[in-house]
Amino acid sequence: MNVAAPSTVPRRRTGFGKYRTIVLSIALFLVFDLGVLILNFYTSSEISTDAVGINLAGRQRMLSQRLVKALHEFGAAPAGSTEATNALMELRNTTTLFDTTLSAFERGGETTGGDGRAVLLQPVSDARGRAAVEAALKLWQPLKTALDPALRGSDAAALHEAVRLASSSNLALLRLMNDLTTALEQVAAGKADRLRLIQTIGIGLALANFFLILFHFIRQLRDSDTRAETARRETVEILDTVTDGLFLLDRELTIGAQPSKSLHGLFGRSTLANQPFLPMLREIVSEKVYREAADFLDVLFREHVNLKLVASLNPLHEVEVLIPGPNGEPQRKYLGIEFTRVTDAHSALVHLLVTVRDITVRIELARQLELSRRQAEEQMSLLLGILHVEPPRLREFIDRADKALHDINATLRRHGSKHLSKRDEYRGVLNEIFPTIHALKGEAGLLGLEFFEKLAHDFEERIVELRGLKRVGGDELIGLAVQLDRLIGSVEAVRAMVERLGSLQQGFAQEATAAAGAPAGAAAETPAMAPTSTAAPLPELTVDTFRFLVERLAQTEHKRVQLLASGLDTLAVSGAEQITALREVLVQLLRNAVAHGIETPEERHLAGKTDVGTIRLQARADASAGIELICHDDGRGLDPGRIRAAALQSGRWSEDELDAMGTAGLRALLFEPGFTTAAEATLAAGRGVGMDVIKHRVEALGGTLSVASEPGRYCAWRITLPGLPGLGELSFETT
Amino acid sequence: MPEPKPLTLLIVDDSHIIRRRIERSVAIDGLDIVGTAADGDEAVRKFRKLLPDAVTMDLTMPGMDGLQTISAVLAIRPDTRILVVSALADRSTAIEAIRRGARGFLYKPFDDAQLNEALTELLELH
């Protein structure tokens, strides 16, 4: 797991960056608007000034008419009358106003407006207007001079002259003032046209600017949309094709919106996006892993925790999962789930990036490697195991094992093909197989073939396991057959090895003979390990064989045991069947003595005994009584309390039933199939077979089995075989 | 330039061998081992006196266990950097230790390089 590299912070750029265009456009828009506004303001103020001029020019036309009219009224009114006075005042006012206005038109200056307020006029600049003003002045000056005496007094001659002059120039003045009005109106109209032009241009520019901005941004948007779409498509392509499962996990432990496509296959689900992660996980992993994962994820989101320093705690690093397959059948897979922190621009932890890999192949490969390594080791221990066994005994074992295993195989095949409906029928099959495999295990132990002993032990364990199941189907029996194949295979391996060793030894022998000058053919006739040899007498029941077994079992049980045997060397039994049966019985009795009888050195010490336990094996043959075998150990003895407790725990007997049994009854339980007092199964004992097998074997030989014991002191088993008379003179010790 | 003040480390482990092991193996400039403790009570007592910057913490100890000790130590000095040193077998306890405020985890057995790397990472000395 890695700590995420901090994402690069975008570099701050001077200026406006990508916003430059829009800022420029807005600035231009404002400049255009402001320009148009200023021009508009200026021109319209000019137009409004012009309007005043036009107004006053129009008033001049009217004044010229009023002047003539006032002159006539003044002349017609009797002197000193009110009419005369009024007319004179009108005449004065009209003259003054006309004169002031006209001179203001000429030189610029103040005059009185239509509302009586002072108005400032600019000199007329238009050529036509100017000509009209100047012509009007030429007509006005003589008239004004002629009017002057008439305005001051009532000189009739002057008045008459003034009326004549006014009448003659009146029309001309009227026309000139009309011209002036028209000229001023044309100037104003020109300005209004200009104003419209400015406004049109301004609006045009603003519109052009607007469209420029519009097109620019539409293009930019389209470009960025295209880029975003491309990026999105790439992301989708990556997420669709990547074989690793990828997704983001937020603080609420919700799967992100875009998990990679392969994740659906890895988790065996069609919907994952925006789903809570933990409930999904809970369905595919064990409860323990689920709880650890929940805590671990909590830890990952704590920012003070160093991701590198907790990576090794990830319970999902290699995790076994059960994924629903295409047919709904759960499939066992191994996933490797790793977490990486995802931080934002401010280094704040926002997500975990989760990668999921299917590591089933890798794990299985590792297992296969481990298996082949173990097989190599097994081969080696097999080799070492057989090296110390005498060849004839080994060959006998191989033949027996081969036959027994093939018998079991035949039994399994026979029942595997049948439809066994009742539980008891399965049990029957299992019970049929069990004693055979158990005896083989004992034999292998006796010969020190640890490897084979272990395989047989595993097979035995499996049978016991199946016996405990409520239902046993053909599948389970096939599973047993597979295990059986391994056993058969190992027997074959031993046989092959024995033959190879034989030829090797033969080779050495030939070489030695050749070196000695003897003919090669002679050596070949007496090979040390000829596969067909039956000549050598079998040392079936030697003390050494049993001592070896007892020492080895004692070692695995962490006990110290010595075996004292007597009479065995003189006990000769004819017939392979009987030899085998006797050996099996003795092996089982010795196993029980080591496993159940003899205590650990500590226990013995506490009980005031010597650290080393003693097992005595005594045999004697009597011509009339047959063979008597006694196996005596100075261990803990048969404890009725322990037997009772074990029986109670097995659930096969009720308390009342056990109470009713008494000591003898409880001891009899030892001969029940599957009964054991050992807490756990070991190679030596504890699977709860043995005593019943011994009993059956002894009974099959026509003998009897009895037991004597004192709790804490000893346990002794006595077997009598009247049908098996011993040969030769026997000596034996008595207990 | 004056030498920067060295960081201080307290080793907490009930195994004498592991304590010696860590003491001998730590080789980081600027990190001083100021004490060792064999159980939780001794650890808290020494921690109060020495106020070290960092602690290596065993989880299974007689009396006050590692989890309780972590809480006690962080109550005295919350910014203490604690490295849990434990077997991977008790993964859930280790995760619980991290939840209580330890910052990292180193599983036993470890080699010298792993120890020094973990401590460097813990103290952000790289």
Residue B23, domain extent: 7-123
Q: Is the pLDDT of residue A168 over 90?
A: no
- Tell me whether residues A291 and B107 touch, CB distance under 8 A: no
Distance, in Å, from the CA atom of A461 to the CA atom of A441, rounded to the nearest integer, reads 12
Q: Of the given ranges (A72-81, A214-223, A353-362), which has the lowest mean pLDDT?
A: A72-81
Q: Are residues A510 and A427 in the same domain?
A: yes
Short-list A559, A547, A505, A484, CA closest to A386:
A505
Q: Of the given ranges (A243-252, A562-571, A687-696), which has the lowest mean pLDDT?
A: A687-696
CATH number of the domain encompassing residue A189:
1.20.120.1730
- Whether A295 has its CB under 8 Å from any CB of chain B: the answer is yes
CA-based nearest distance B89→chain A, Å: 10
Cβ neighbourhood burial of A100 (10 Å; 0-12, 13-18, 19+): middle
Assess if residue B113 is contained within a domain: yes
Q: Which residue is closest to A291 within chain B, CA to CA? A: B92
Q: Which positions in chain B touch A295 (Cβ < 8 Å)?
A: 92, 95-96, 99
Assess if residue A5 is contained within a domain: no
Q: What is the mean pLDDT of chain B?
A: 89
Q: Which residue has the higher pLDDT, A78 or A295?
A: A295
Q: What's the pLDDT tens digit per position in A195-204?
A: 888 888 888 8
Q: Which positions in chain A touch B105 (Cβ < 8 Å)?
A: 309-310, 312-313
Cβ neighbourhood burial of A464 (10 Å; 0-12, 13-18, 19+): middle
Q: Is the pLDDT of residue A321 over 50?
A: yes
- Tell me whether residues A309 and B122 touch, CB distance under 8 A: yes
Structure tokens at B44: 């808290």
Residue with token string 């002159």: A71
Helix (H) or strand (E) holding B87: strand B81-87
Q: Of the given ranges (A183-192, A254-263, A374-383, B17-26), which has the lowest mean pLDDT?
A: A374-383
Q: How confident is the model at residue A12 (pLDDT cuts 50, 70, 90)?
A: very low
- Whether A1 has its CB under 8 Å from any CB of chain B: the answer is no
Nearest CB to A306: which of B94, B96, B122? Answer: B122
| Per-residue model confidence (pLDDT) at position A721 | 80
Q: Are residues A480 and A559 in the same domain?
A: no
Q: Is the pLDDT of residue A422 over 60?
A: no
Nearest CB to B121: which of A298, A309, A315? Answer: A309
The mean per-residue pLDDT over the stretch A296-313 comes to 88
Q: Are residues A252 and A188 in the same domain?
A: no
The mean per-residue pLDDT over the stretch A277-291 comes to 91
The mean per-residue pLDDT over the stretch A648-663 comes to 81
Q: What's the pLDDT tens digit per position in B7-24?
A: 999 999 988 888 998 999
Domain finish residue from A232, A255, A288: A232
CA-based nearest distance A250→chain B, Å: 18
Helix (H) or strand (E) holding A507: helix A474-516
Q: Is the pLDDT of residue A6 over 50?
A: no
Domain finish residue from A232, A263, A291: A232
Q: Which residue has the higher pLDDT, A492 or A580?
A: A492
Q: How confident is the model at residue A526 (pLDDT cuts 50, 70, 90)?
A: very low
| Per-residue model confidence (pLDDT) at position A561 | 92
For residues A3 and A308, the answer to whether their CB atoms sit within 8 Å is yes
Looking only at the bridges linking them, the beta strands covering B31-37 and B54-57 are unpaired
Q: Are residues A86 and A146 in the same domain?
A: yes
| Per-residue model confidence (pLDDT) at position A679 | 47
| Per-residue model confidence (pLDDT) at position A13 | 46
CA-based nearest distance A306→chain B, Å: 6
CATH number of the domain encompassing residue A505:
1.20.120.160
Assess if residue A343 is contained within a domain: yes
Domain count, chain A: 4
Q: Are residues A395 and A307 in the same domain?
A: no
Q: What's the pLDDT tens digit per position in A478-515?
A: 778 888 888 888 888 888 877 777 777 677 667 666 66
- Residues 6+ away with beta carbon under 8 Å from A522: A513
Q: Which positions in chain A touch B99 (Cβ < 8 Å)?
A: 295, 298-299, 302
Assess if residue B2 is contained within a domain: no
Q: Is the pLDDT of residue A304 over 90?
A: no
- Whether B91 has its CB under 8 Å from any CB of chain A: the answer is yes
Nearest CB to A295: which of B83, B92, B107? Answer: B92
Nearest CB to B103: which of A288, A291, A309? Answer: A309
CATH number of the domain encompassing residue A310:
3.30.450.20
Assess if residue B87 is contained within a domain: yes
| Per-residue model confidence (pLDDT) at position A541 | 64
Assess if residue B84 is contained within a domain: yes
Structure tokens at A84: 């005369």
CA-based nearest distance B1→chain A, Å: 31
Q: Which residue has the higher pLDDT, A2 or A619?
A: A619
- Whether B90 has its CB under 8 Å from any CB of chain A: the answer is no
| Per-residue model confidence (pLDDT) at position A226 | 92
| Per-residue model confidence (pLDDT) at position A730 | 35
Short-list B41, B50, B39, B40, CA closest to B10:
B50
Q: Is the pLDDT of residue A652 over 60?
A: yes
Q: Are residues A580 and A618 in the same domain?
A: yes
Domain count, chain B: 1
| Per-residue model confidence (pLDDT) at position A314 | 93
Q: Of the given ranges (A278-287, A580-589, B77-86), which has the lowest mean pLDDT?
A: A580-589
| Per-residue model confidence (pLDDT) at position A523 | 40
Q: Which residue is closest to A288 within chain B, CA to CA? A: B92
- Whether A299 has its CB under 8 Å from any CB of chain B: the answer is yes
CATH number of the domain encompassing residue B28:
3.40.50.2300
| Per-residue model confidence (pLDDT) at position A339 | 93
To the nearest whole percent, how much of chain A has pLDDT over 70?
Answer: 84
| Per-residue model confidence (pLDDT) at position A573 | 60
Q: Which residue is closest to A301 within chain B, CA to CA? A: B99
Q: Are residues A706 and A577 in the same domain?
A: yes
Q: Which positions in chain A touch B96 (Cβ < 8 Å)?
A: 295
DSSP E strands: which ranges in A636-728?
704-710, 714-721
Q: How confident is the model at residue A1 (pLDDT cuts 50, 70, 90)?
A: very low
- Tell me whether residues B103 and A315 touch, CB distance under 8 A: no
Q: What is the mean pLDDT of chain A?
A: 80
Q: Are residues A182 and A248 in the same domain?
A: no
Q: Are residues A222 and A259 in the same domain?
A: no
| Per-residue model confidence (pLDDT) at position B72 | 94
Q: Are residues A396 and A330 in the same domain?
A: no
- Interface A–B counts its CB contacts (< 8 A) at 48
Q: Are residues A260 and A206 in the same domain?
A: no
CA-based nearest distance B111→chain A, Å: 15
Q: Which residue is closest to B93 within chain A, CA to CA? A: A292
- Whether A301 has its CB under 8 Å from any CB of chain B: the answer is no
To the nearest whole percent, how much of chain A has pLDDT over 90?
Answer: 10
Assess if residue B20 is contained within a domain: yes
Assess if residue A536 is contained within a domain: no
Q: Which residue has the higher pLDDT, A577 or A732?
A: A577
| Per-residue model confidence (pLDDT) at position A353 | 92
Assess if residue A734 is contained within a domain: no
Domain finish residue from A517, A532, A562: A517
Q: Are residues A159 and A222 in the same domain?
A: yes
State whether residue A611 is helix, strand or coil: coil
> Which of B74, B98, B114 is the mutation pick for testing A, counting most A CBs within 10 A?
B98
Residue A207, domain extent: 17-232
The mean per-residue pLDDT over the stretch A638-663 comes to 81
Residues 25-84 of B with CB under 8 A from A: 83
Assess if residue A443 is contained within a domain: yes
